Structure 1
Amino acid sequence: MNVRQTPEFPAWPQYDETEREGLVRALEQGQWWRMGGSEVESFEREFADHHGAAHALAVTNGTHALELALQCMGVGPGTEVVVPAFTFISSSQAAQRLGAVAVPVDVDEDTYSIDVAATAAAVTPRTRVIMPVHMAGFMADMDALAKLSADTGVPLLQDAAHAHGARWRGRRVGELGSVAAFSFQNGKLMTAGEGGAVLFPDTEMYETAFLRHSCGRPRTDRRYLHEIAGSNLRLNEFSAAVLRAQLGRLEQQVTTRQRRWALLSGLLGAIDGVVPQRGDERTDFPSHYMAMFRVPGIGEEQRNALVDRLVEAGVPAFAGFRAIYRTDAFWEIGAPDETPDEVAERCPRTEAISRDCVWLHHRVLLAAEQAQHETAAIVADAVAAI
């Protein structure tokens, strides 16, 4: 491979005095948990407002956000949740840990998000929730999914772990009429190291979720009168203070990523054998959690070698998600009555994408335009060396 200029990428996470001031503010208020402080409640209001939702509930992490949302939507033993086969495994494990069966379906070959026709074919009388994942910040087909939900009576839970600030036909995630879950894990578009949030369109479900995330205990309880079963999923005040600062720069960062992806995707698409992820045009404000592309036809071993070459050249590259049904963890509990090969047979696009997909960390898209050209040149060299 030719020697190339190593691109300069900004560090992630990013922070400035705003986070520092928030941490001091949380420290000096004298109460460091949500029941006595004000940072978590302030963050919840600000996050809900930013996403057009009636309510937001901050929780310990994104996986717990999904699990809590599913529980409040009636998921449990004897029920099924339809999930995309190409996703991080939390999407399925959140349902499985509640005793439900996770049913993987294939994804769209362009957006890598859940395929609507495959989803419709998977709905049964036991299906309690359909979970689209907005892969890399390009939203799933929310129009078709909303119609499917209305036709079947099965509600949607948006896994929006990649979609902070994204919009579908001008509507924000919280304006689409369904529950949505977010992650603030260290690599996400806004982060406090860990953390999560759930957006609720109605007050009744939000109040139920509040009880469940706080051991079933009402806000003003002083006598341990736990009303329903729950767990301790409360976010702490320090994390919330950091997230308030992170939210303040989200819009500007997403706008920068959009501009850089418009450049980088064109450069990648000009490389022989490389196919960049394409978003549905109705995602008119994608958040670009990842810069994803495929090299169709290569195998998993070649793809992994490609990733290694990119990393060696200074590009923060990663292998695409493994199909969830190709992991041992998926089959431990709450798996469908099928073999991995039987699931794979109805998920051909997932099989292919899982073998040949590469993603670049979103900090690549926060770098200067010159870095996009340098990145594409490194990718071209690495692909040619396969």
Structure 2
Amino acid sequence: MNARQAPEFPQWPQYDDDEREGLIRALEQGQWWRMGGSEVDSFEREFAEHHGAPHALAVTNGTHALELALQVLGVGPGSEVIVPAFTFISSSQAAQRLGAVAVPVDVDEHTFNIDVARAADAVTPRTRAIMPVHMAGFLADMDALDKLSADTGVPLVQDAAHAHGARWQGKRVGELGSVAAFSFQNGKLMTAGEGGAVLFPDAEMYENAFLRHSCGRPKTDRRYLHSIAGSNLRLNEFSASVLRAQLRRLDGQIATRHQRWELLSGLLDSIDGVVPQRGDERTDVPSHYMAMFRVPGISEEKRNAVVDRLVEIGVPAFAGFRAIYRTDAFWEIGAPDTTPEELARRCPHADALSQDCIWLHHRVLLASEGDIRRTAEIIADVVGAA
């Protein structure tokens, strides 16, 4: 097998004259700060409307979006936040950096999303938030999570960094009644290199978040009357202008990714030893941030070798997330009073995914059908050789 046989994938990020025109528009308005310009305000309105939310607040990045969402809900020292054990580390560190304890729970072995029964078992009087992560754009079981939230009084914070434009039983993320945080980092489904946003279901939470993202200072303040504690999490006008263009092409890209995933997942499912991620069918519009699959029983060393070989051939492949308790960072601050071995015992699916999961960049799902078939052939060859 040689490089000439590799499929052709589109580059990412994608851009055209819409982004160029937006950047010039932001430049020539003469105000590059959100308080004097109009791009951030316009993007927030458009993003909120696109996701069916009453309010959106643009911020510096997705990690800050999670931190801000949790802070608005009262998360801080002495509190706990329930997070899936299989996720990017920002999900837990957002809580830990606020002084809270992150409590990992296991995930479903097929959807890779939080196991709601395990989340229910983890609720204590100190729990201030439950954070489902919509892994690869397949939404977590929002019906069961809403019931858990109602039964316990613990609010949800949707980590929607993978779920731009996704829908659950016809409802957009902003119509699900809970706070949701997004990322616009360079690899995300829409990007300005960095950036983030938080959707809020009511004006009170939005106003609180606005103050906290702007050093606690009201928008009309001229006398430095900082009313609450906050930080500078404001997005700039140039990034917002790019994100407005990115948002306009999002739905078309999602439709293409969905068609390609239907093909690719079927092909992967036919490969001996390969098991593709299976989303909850109630996610009627998954956004397909990643194309994820497992090779059950493979060692982590061999999984990593498979990823390296795919990259050598030209397939943008990555090792799956490491279970958060398998990282040194998790134990630095805000860790539960237990051990990695005990958490591994409680989270067998997350632990297995740390070892056997592989994902492909979503630009793979923007390739032609022929390149999708070739990608599946390459995966079959490489996994078979391993």
What is aligned with 1:311?
A: 311
For each residue in 1:69-95, what CA deviation from the matched residue of structure 2 results, as whole angstroms up to 9, or x when unmatched?
000000000000000000000000000
Q: What code does the residue aligned with 2:141 have?
A: D
Aligned partners of 1:267, 1:219: CA distance in 2, in Å?
53
Aligned partners of 2:254, 2:5: CA distance in 1, in Å?
26
Aligned partners of 2:2, 2:250: CA distance in 1, in Å?
36
Aligned partners of 1:203, 1:194: CA distance in 2, in Å?
26
What is aligned with 1:332?
A: 332
What is aligned with 2:165?
A: 165
For each residue in 1:213-269, what CA deviation from the matched residue of structure 2 results, as whole angstroms up to 9, or x when unmatched?
000000000000000000000000000000000000000000000000000000111
CA contact 2:268–2:274 (8 Å) conserved in 1: yes
What is aligned with 1:102?
A: 102
Aligned partners of 2:4, 2:215: CA distance in 1, in Å?
55
Aligned identity (percent) is 83
RMSD across aligned positions (CA)? 0.8
Aligned partners of 1:133, 1:385: CA distance in 2, in Å?
33
What is aligned with 1:138?
A: 138
Is residue 175 of structure 1 aligned with residue 161 of structure 2? no
What is aligned with 1:47?
A: 47
For each residue in 1:183-208, what CA deviation from the matched residue of structure 2 results, as whole angstroms up to 9, or x when unmatched?
00000000000000000000000000
Deviation at 1:4, TM superposition (A): 7.2
Deviation at 1:3, TM superposition (A): 7.7
**After TM superposition, where is structure 1 displaced by more than 2 Å over at least 4 residues in a row?**
1-4
For each residue in 1:141-177, what CA deviation from the matched residue of structure 2 results, as whole angstroms up to 9, or x when unmatched?
0000000000000000000000000000000000000
**Secondary structure of 2:271's aligned partner:** coil
- The 1:39/1:107 distance shift into structure 2, 3 A limit, reads same
Aligned partners of 1:351, 1:177: CA distance in 2, in Å?
31
Q: What code does the residue aligned with 1:202 have?
A: D
CA contact 1:4–1:378 (8 Å) conserved in 2: no
What is aligned with 2:206?
A: 206
For each residue in 1:9-35, what CA deviation from the matched residue of structure 2 results, as whole angstroms up to 9, or x when unmatched?
000000000000000000000000100
**Secondary structure of 1:158's aligned partner:** strand
Structural mapping, 1:205-354, within 5 Å: 205-354=205-354
For each residue in 1:349-381, what CA deviation from the matched residue of structure 2 results, as whole angstroms up to 9, or x when unmatched?
001111000000000000000010000000000
What is aligned with 1:383?
A: 383
What is aligned with 1:151?
A: 151
Q: TM-score, normalised by structure 1?
A: 0.99
CA contact 2:34–2:234 (8 Å) conserved in 1: yes
What is aligned with 2:357?
A: 357
CA contact 1:2–1:381 (8 Å) conserved in 2: no
CA contact 1:100–1:334 (8 Å) conserved in 2: yes
**Secondary structure of 2:249's aligned partner:** helix
Q: What code does the residue aligned with 1:98 have?
A: L
What is aligned with 2:368?
A: 368
Is residue 14 of structure 1 aligned with residue 32 of structure 2? no
Aligned partners of 2:68, 2:351: CA distance in 1, in Å?
30
Aligned partners of 2:187, 2:94: CA distance in 1, in Å?
20
CA contact 2:105–2:114 (8 Å) conserved in 1: yes
**Secondary structure of 1:102's aligned partner:** strand
Aligned partners of 2:339, 2:317: CA distance in 1, in Å?
31
For each residue in 1:127-152, what CA deviation from the matched residue of structure 2 results, as whole angstroms up to 9, or x when unmatched?
00000000000000000000000000
CA contact 1:113–1:135 (8 Å) conserved in 2: yes
Aligned partners of 1:41, 1:383: CA distance in 2, in Å?
48
Structural mapping, 1:18-37, within 5 Å: 18-37=18-37
Aligned partners of 1:205, 1:384: CA distance in 2, in Å?
52
Q: TM-score, normalised by structure 2?
A: 0.99
What is aligned with 2:63?
A: 63
Aligned partners of 1:259, 1:66: CA distance in 2, in Å?
31
How many residues align structurally? 386
**Secondary structure of 2:198's aligned partner:** strand
Q: What code does the residue aligned with 2:238 have?
A: F
